[in-house]
A and B are shown apart, each in its own frame.
Chain A
Amino acid sequence: MSWETVIGLEVHVQLATKTKIFSGSSTRFGASPNTQACAIDLAMPGTLPVLNKQAVNYAIMFGLAIDAEIEQKSVFERKNYFYPDLPKGYQTTQLEKPIVGPGRVVIPLADGTTKAIRIHHAHLEEDAGKSIHDGDIPIGVSGVDLNRAGTPLIEIVSEPDMRSSDEAVAFAKKLHSIVTSIGICDGEMSQGSMRFDVNVSVRPSGSSALGIRTETKNLNSFKFMEEAIQLEVDRQIDLIEDGGKVTQETRLYNGDTKISKPMRSKEEANDYRYFPCPDLLPVIVSDQTLDELRSSLPELPDARKSRFTQQYLLSDYDAEILASDTSNAEFFESVAEKTKNPKLAANWVMGDLTARLNMENKNISNSPVSSSQLAGLILRISDNTISNKMAKQVFDAIWLGEGNADEIIEARGLKQLSDSGSLEKIVTEVIEANPAMVTDYVNSDESKRKKKMGGFMGQIMKASRGQANPQQVNQILLEKLNELI
C-alpha cells in the first residue's frame, strides 16, 4: 500500500509592534512575570480594548505580500473558553470576516522547481499569557505570567496543499522569510515569535478523499516541525495498516523527548460560542491606506532573489539563500556594492562568515565583522595585496577585534610579496638549494611536471612566510625551471 501525506499548517506570527494589540503595554521579550501586564491585559473589571493601528497595518502588509484580498471591513469576535493564561475567559480574534483573504506563497522544491501553496486566510488575534509548571514554583502549583497576553498575532491558515514534511518546512521557512523581510515580525523562533500547528492526515496514493487528520500544536522550530510530522505520518500509517482508525485529536510534541501524545484536556468538549465583540467596532481600511501600504512595502524575498540573479549574476541557489533573510541580504549587498565583486562577496558571506556565526551562535546583525570590514578584506584580495589563503587569517583577526584588514595586514606584515625582484631571489635560492628536486623535475614527463612544482612552491611559501603572491611565484618558478631543461 502506498500512502500520500496531506499537510496543512496554521502559523501564529507575533507582530513586532511596540505595544499590545488592545493596550499600551510593551511587548518587549524577557521581562519579569506580570511586569508588562496592565489592567486591560489582566482583564480587570471595567477595562476595555482599543485597537493598535500598527497591528492592523502589519496584517495588511502580510496580505499584500501574499497577493491576498484585504477585507476592508473586518470584524473581531470573541472565542470563549476557560484557561488561566486567557484572562478574559475569551480570546478576541476574527472568524467570519478576517482581515486577509485567500492568497498564495511559492516554495522551492528539492528538485529545483517551485510549488504554490494556497493560504486560506490570515486573521488578527491576541496572544495568551504563559504558564510555568515547574522550576520557580511550588509543587502542585502552576504559575501564570500575563506579560505575553495581548501581544498581537496574525494566524495564517494554509490549505492542505503540502504533501511532505519537506514541503511543510519549505513553506514555513518561506513564511518566516516573508514576515521578516517586510519587517512585521522579528522571526526569533526561540522567543516564540512564530509557532506552528500542523494538521496531518494520510490517504492511499491516488485517493482524493481526505483521511482523518490530527493536529499537533505549538511547534516552535523547523526541526521540531519536521520531526513531529514524520512521527505522526508514521504513526498514522502504522495504525491504519494494523487495522485501526485515526482519531481526530489534538496532540503535543516534545522536541526533547521526541515523543508525541494526545492532549489530555478534552478540547472537543469546547464549544467556542463565537460572537462579534461588542466592545469593538468593525475595522475599516480605506483605499488610501491600502495604496500607501502597498507602495511602501519592503522588497519581498522572491523579488529580491530575482534581482540578485540578474543584478549580481548569482546562481539560483546562492540567490535563494542570500535573499531569504533580510539581514543577510542587506549585509551581502553592502559588501557587493563596496567591492564591486558580488561573487567574492557571496562566497565570503555564505562561506566563512556564516560558518563562524553559526559556530558561535551569533546573528549576522551582531556579527563582529561588519559589512565594511568584510568589504575591506575582499578589496585586498581582489587587488592582490594578500592571497585568499592569507585572507582567512586576516578574517579571523578582524573577528577577534584586532582592527580592519589594512591595519592587520600592516601590523603583521602580511602584504603579499609581489615585488618581482624579491620573488625572483627567493625562487632562485630555493632552486639552488634543491638540486635533487630539479633533476627530478627535468627528467619527468611534461605531464607530470606541473605536479612536481608543488614541492618547490611549498618551500618558497615557507621561505616567504606565506606572503609570496602564488600566481606570480608560479610564473617565475616555471620560467626558471624551464630554463634548466
Chain B
Amino acid sequence: MHNFTLAELINGLRSNKFSSVELTQHFLNRIKELNGDYNAIITTTASQALESAISADQRLANGNAPEMCGIPILHKDIFCTNGVRTSCGSKMLDNFIPPYNATVVENFENDGAVMLGKTNMDEFAMGSSNETSFYGPVNNPWALDCVPGGSSGGSAAAISARLAPGATATDTGGSIRQPAALCGISGLKPTYGRVSRWGMIAFASSLDQAGPMARTAEDCAILLNAMASFDEKDSTSVNEPIPNYRSKLDNPINGLKIGIPREYFSEGLHSGTEQAVRNSLVELQNLGAKLIDIKLPSSHLSVPAYYVIAPAEASANLSRFDGVKYGYRCEDPKDLEDLYRRSRSEGFGEEVQRRIMIGTYCLSAGYYDAYYGKAQQVRKLIQQDFSNAFKSVDLIMGPTCPSPAFKFGAKGNDPVAMYLEDIYTIATNLAGLPGMSIPCGQVDGKPVGLQIIGNYFNEERILNVAHQFQQSTDWHNHMPSELA
C-alpha cells in the first residue's frame, strides 16, 4: 500500500480496495517499525488518526467526499495543530500545545484527511540539513549517514521512506526543494501568498511559504489543491483565483521555452549533479521543449541578501519566545533579565542564536542602511532579473542543489558552507516565485533534483512540466535500496 502514489490511493479508497482505517493503520505500523531508523517523525498521533479515518470512511461512503478525504498525511512540526504538541524542532516549544490549527492543517481537516503525526525539522526552520533539531538529526533513507536536507528533512525522509504518501512542509530559502532533491522526492514551494501563513510558526515572514511534498508531481498537485486558499487572517495572503492544479497536468509541452541560467551551471556544481540535470534537460527537449540560455546576473547576491533579510526578520519574530506566555521557561529565574536570558539561551539552539544575533546586527543603528536597507534593494535586483527572464521564457530550470546529500557534520564549523547549499533555491524566495524540485537522476546511489521555477501564480505550468517529465522517466519511482 505504501508504494501507491497518493493519486492511486484516492482511487483505491473510492473503489473500495481498502478503507481509510486500513490505510491509516498500515502507515501507522510502518512508522512504528521504521521511524527509529530515520527519526523523521517527532510526534505520532495514532488514536486521533484512527478516529479521523473512521469519520473519513463514513464520509466516503456517503459519497461526494473531497479528494483528500481518508488520505493519511504528515504535517511538518511548524504547523500549529490544535491539541497536539507543536515544537518547531525546538526545546523552546517542546511543551507547547496550540489551541488552534494552522489554516493549512484546517484545510486538510475540513477535507477529511488523516493526520499521522508531526515531522522533524531544523530548529525554527533554520538549516539545510536537519542537524539542528532538538529532537536529533534525521537520517536520509538513501544513505543513513547522510543528511536528508533541511529544514523540512523529516517530511522529505518520511515520504522517501514511504512512511506516508504526502506531507506538508515549508520553504524560506529552499527548505522544501533542497530536502526533496536530497531524498529523491517531489516538493513544491508555491508563489508567496498562495498558501496561508496563519498558524505556521514564522521564521522569515516575507519569505516563508508552505507547500506539499510527495513522490510525484501529480500528488503535489492534489495536496496543493487542498493547501491553497485565500485567508483573511493573513494580510499577505493573495486573493488570486485557485485553479484545479490537476487539470493541466496532461497538457503537452511542445514549444515550451525553458530558460537555463548560466549562473546555475558554474563553479561549485558537482559534476555528477550537473550531468544528471543536463540529461533531464535533453529529455525535456525530446518532449518538445526548447532550451534557451538566459542570464540572472544578480544571482551571486542572493545568498548574501538572504542572510541579511531572513535573520533580520527572524530576530524580531523570535522575540516573542521569552518564557512569559508559553514555551520554555528557565528554572528559578532570579529577576526579569535572568528570565529572558536563560530561557532564551537554554531554549534556543546554537544556529538559532547565531541567526538572531546576525539579524540584530544587520538592523542595528549604524548598520541598517549598509545591510538591511542594501539587502532589500538587492532583492529588487533579483526580482528584476527574473522579471526580465520571463519575458522570453516560460520556466527556468537548473539543479536544485550544488551536490548530492553530504555526510553529517560535513559542513562542520563553517556556517557559510552550509548556507551555500541553498545557492540555487534562495533567489526564488527573495522574488516570491513558485519553484519545484523533482528527482532527475542519481550520483553514487544518491538522488539528484531538478529545479523548475515559474512565474507568479504559475504553479500549473510547473506541475505540468514535472508531470510530463515523470510520465517519460522513472526517477521518481526509484526508492532507497533497503526499502525495495
Contact = CB atoms under 8 A, between A and B. Distances in A.
Partners in one complex: yes
A87 B340 contact: no
A271 B234 contact: no
Given A39-B99, A275-B368, A45 B206 contact: no
- By secondary structure, the B interface counts as loop
Interface in B95-116: 96, 98-100, 102
Contact of A39 (B79, B100, B200, B319): B100
Contact of A144 (B79, B204, B324): B324
Given A39-B99, A51-B235, A82 B340 contact: yes
A46 B236 contact: no
Interface residues of A, number: 30
A49 B319 CA distance: 16
B28 interface: no
Contacts of A90: 316, 319
A43 B315 CA distance: 15
A279 B232 contact: no
Contacts, number: 97
A270 to B, nearest CB: 10
Count class of interface residues, chain B: 35 or more
A57 B198 CA distance: 26
Contact of A275 (B201, B234, B312, B320): B312
Interface in A59-85: 78, 80, 82, 84
B80 A280 contact: no
B320 A88 contact: yes
B209 to A, nearest CB: 13
A43 B320 contact: yes
Interface in B312-354: 312-313, 315-316, 318-320, 322, 324-326, 336, 340
Contacts of B200: 46
Contacts of A132: none
B233 interface: yes
A435 B422 CA distance: 118
Contacts of A50: 232-235
Nearest to A146: B325
Contacts of A146: 325
A273 B98 contact: no
Interface in A94-111: none
Contacts of A48: 197-198, 233-236
A176 B202 CA distance: 40
Contacts of B316: 78, 80, 88-90, 273, 275
Interface of B: 79-80, 86, 88, 93, 96, 98-100, 102, 197-202, 204-206, 232-236, 312-313, 315-316, 318-320, 322, 324-326, 336, 340, 360, 363-365, 368, 372
27 contacts: A42-B325, A44-B326, A45-B201, A45-B326, A46-B79, A46-B102, A46-B199, A48-B233, A48-B236, A49-B235, A50-B232, A50-B234, A80-B319, A82-B322, A82-B340, A88-B316, A89-B320, A144-B324, A271-B364, A271-B365, A273-B363, A273-B364, A275-B368, A278-B205, A279-B202, A279-B236, A281-B236
Interface of A: 39, 42-51, 78, 80, 82, 84, 87-90, 142, 144, 146, 271, 273-275, 278-281
Rank and list the top 3 A-B pairs by shortest CB-CB distance, nearest first: A89-B319, A273-B363, A278-B205
